[in-house]
Amino acid sequence: MYDFLIVGCGFAGSVLAERLASAGKKILIVDKRDHIAGNAYDYYNEDGILVHKYGPHIFHTNSEEVFKYLSRFTDWRPYEHRVLGSADGQLVPIPINLTTINKLYGKNLTSDEVKDFLASKAEVRNPVLTSEDVVLNTVGKELYEKFFRGYTKKQWDLDPSELDASVTSRVPTRTNTDDRYFTDTFQAMPKHGYTEMFRKMLSHKNISIMLNTDYRDIIEIIPHQNLIYTGPIDSYFDFCFGKLPYRSINFKFETLNQEVYQCTGTINYPTSNLYTRITEFKYLTGQAHQKTTIVYEYPTAEGDPYYPIPRRENQEIYNLYKKLADQTPNVYFTGRLGTYKYYNMDQVVAQSLTLFKKITMQAMSDVQ
Ligand code: FAD
Ligand code: UDP
């Protein structure tokens, strides 16, 4: 008899497996894929280059708790991601910053001057409700067209006006020369890769792992007291309120017989090509190798569910599932797919640590 059957070996499921196992619970964690680590899975390709199977994953967080927790399972390599965007035949920093404006417009503005420049371009939106509002409100139409409209259409197959403000709000606008993609306090990559970190997290005597297994095939035959589910919530309930839409991506990997391909980790192509961005893994991993591997991301509607799509009508469907989930005893839903939230890795870790505390408190109050 297992105390917990956990569906999904990604961050959401693995953090809970580790926490509960360390608290003395017996865990069976299953994944339908043939590997652990969920979408953070990385591996050495046939040329010996460490790549991320499900697209570039860069770790960043402001949470000391999350960073300290993961540090039990890995050492880190400091890494600050930098992105350039292709516009008007040039490569310029993304997020838009002082350098972006000066390069694009052939100017030599100071920080204060660029604030005035952007204010003169901005189209005030009040309230700011959509992803279009966010960008027009800060940088105006021209920069919106250059960097956001086409990229967003490719990524989501929606106009920014059809997406919640939270989507483009992920990308700030800066008036200084800081060209890092993220400004979080902790920015680092697991020194030996994500999969290795997960391996350490899951190597506990109380944890059994079953790969290549859809939980539906074993749920009736493996006795367990509780279920933790990190797959798509609509699928768990047999789509009884309809399908929740997700965005998927086709990843096209290329290994080149040269040491370096591009001048930074990621280059975004907002208005040209069918792919959104190209990432060169060696920047992320720090690996030295005579060859290099890059990945192109082609967004698509079909395929593995990678991105929940933040917009009101989808949230309304999710709310129906959430209500049902809350009424389902001994089953907990968490993670990016289990709670239909556009979460980064650190947010998923934080969510699972919180759920662990909730489960522990519940168990204590049941005993009393
Ligand atoms: P997942 O990792 O998706 O794990 C869920 C697991 O459940 C999967 O392995 C799946 O196979 C399994 N499963 C589903 N259904 C079943 C079933 N029926 N039976 C058995 N198993 C099942 N975050 C960052 O912080 N930084 C980044 O740079 C970053 N880049 C990203 C780039 C891309 C292209 C994508 C798609 C995501 C990126 N993320 C990034 C987000 C990150 O991938 C997620 O936050 C995180 O991996 C979510 O973890 P999870 O455990 O919730 O879900
Ligand atoms: N975005 C954009 N142009 C860019 C970068 C981002 O339009 O050059 C928008 C786009 O809608 C994207 C969102 O901002 O989906 C969030 O970007 P982020 O880089 O955080 O996406 P992720 O890494 O999660 O795919």
pLDDT per residue over 207-266, tens digit each? 999 999 999 999 999 999 999 999 999 999 999 999 999 999 999 999 999 999 999 999
Rounded distance, CA 211 to CA 50, Å? 22
Nearest CA to ligand 1 atom 16: 231
CB count within 10 Å of CB 20 equals 24
Q: Closest Cα partner for 278 from 256, 306, 305?
A: 256
- Those residues whose C-beta lies under 8 Å from the C-beta of residue 182, and which sit 6 or more positions away, are 58, 60, 80, 81
Rounded distance, CA 23 to CA 243, Å? 36
How many angstroms is it from 222 CA to the middle of ligand 2? 42
Nearest CA to ligand 2 atom 10: 152
Looking at ligand 1, which atom is closest to the CA of residue 39?
A: 2
Question: What pTM did the predictor assign?
Answer: 0.98
Q: How far are the Cα atoms of 19, 29, 216, 226, 339 from residue 5, in angstroms, in the given order?
A: 14, 6, 12, 6, 18
Please tell me the predicted confidence (pLDDT) of residue 364: 81
Number of H helices, E strands in the chain: 13, 17
Give domain 2-63+191-243+308-367's CATH architecture. 3-Layer(aba) Sandwich (3.40)
- Mean pLDDT to the nearest integer, 107-128: 97
pLDDT, one tens digit per residue, over 306-344 is 999 999 999 999 999 999 999 999 999 999 999 999 999
Please tell me the predicted confidence (pLDDT) of residue 293: 98
Q: Closest Cα partner for 270 from 139, 126, 75, 90?
A: 90
Domain ranges of the chain: 2-63+191-243+308-367, 83-168
How many angstroms is it from 171 CA to the middle of ligand 2? 7
